Amino acid sequence: MSIENLEIEEEIEEVDYTDSTNIYRRKLINKLSIIFACLILIIITRVFDKYLPFDIIMTSIIFLSLLAIIIVLALGSTIYVFKSRNTLETQSTNKLHKKLLNVFDLLSVVPIFIAIISFSNAFLLSPATVIGESMEPTYYEGQDIMMWHLNIEYERFDVIILETDGNEFYIKRIIGLPGETIMIDDNKLYINGDQIEQKFLEDGNGSISVNTYCSIAHVTTCEFNVPDGSYFVMGDNREHSLDSRSSILGYVSEEQVYGRVVIKFNNIFRDVLN
């Protein structure tokens, strides 16, 4: 082998990858920090979140499995980054840092997405699925809905999600506000003595085909005095709705109300991932 070739080999062997590795290292540490920050946020929202029953992401086996795998990989990579701090000049360390950075560029999207959804569910918007026929034809069983629950002042005719004493969730419409007097008389609705139009009950022809009875016994005249801090609610499908007309549910306190329904949507996570 010639002297010239030996000098070239020595130059190749003496390449120092420290600067390049440090660039990958810093970026990798940033990615790992984001993942752990998202994990902390997810844990916090689960500890203090009363909307956990509506968290569609954390009930998905696929997302939970992905999150578990990412956490294990992140912990292992963190240990490796710490242990490899004295071998930054080597090519092998450089290559592995680069590969890990490429991997976490992709994987970090998952915990970020989960954290955003969990935060939104805890403080802003929560998804739910309609069960039962009490709100037909406005909402049908199996439809996906979204409820808003940040700084809400509920108004008459808002559609809400409420929790019963039996820890079940109902979807109903607010009819009476705190302190009001509700009267049902011969299929007509009166609030504080004034008859109220119920446009949401009209069909495509502008007529109302549902009957608003006072109770299951089909009493036609009755009166309800809504206590302070409570609401009088009914389902749009008046003849097939357990609501404030019945003592089983009764008046709904402000603490029982979880949010106002604002939109219908297609919950792909429920249909595809579970």
Contact predicate 174/155, CB 8 Å: yes
Helix/strand/coil for 205: coil
134 catalytic residue (yes or no): yes
Nearest to 161 by CA among 57, 231, 60, 59: 231
Catalytic residue among 60, 120, 126, 134: 134
**How far is residue 241 from each of residues 171, 212, 235, measured CA to CA in Å?**
10, 10, 5
154 contacts 160 by C-beta, under 8 angstroms: yes
**Catalytic annotation present for 84:** no
- In whole angstroms, give the CA distance from residue 201 to residue 122: 32
**250 vs 3: CA distance, rounded Å:** 97
Residues 136 and 143: their CA atoms lie apart, in Å, by 11
Residues in CB range of 40: below 8 A, 6 or more apart = none
6 forms beta bridges with none
Q: Are 234 and 94 in contact (CB under 8 A)?
A: no
Residues, the chain: 274
Distance between CA atoms of 198 and 69, rounded to whole angstroms? 52
The residue behind tokens 């329904």 is: 261
Residue 130: count of CB within 10 angstroms of its CB = 20
**Angle (nearest 5°) at CA 137 between 134 and 138:** 90
Q: Which listed residue (118, 172, 230, 244) is catalytic?
A: 172
Q: Which residues are catalytic?
A: 134, 172
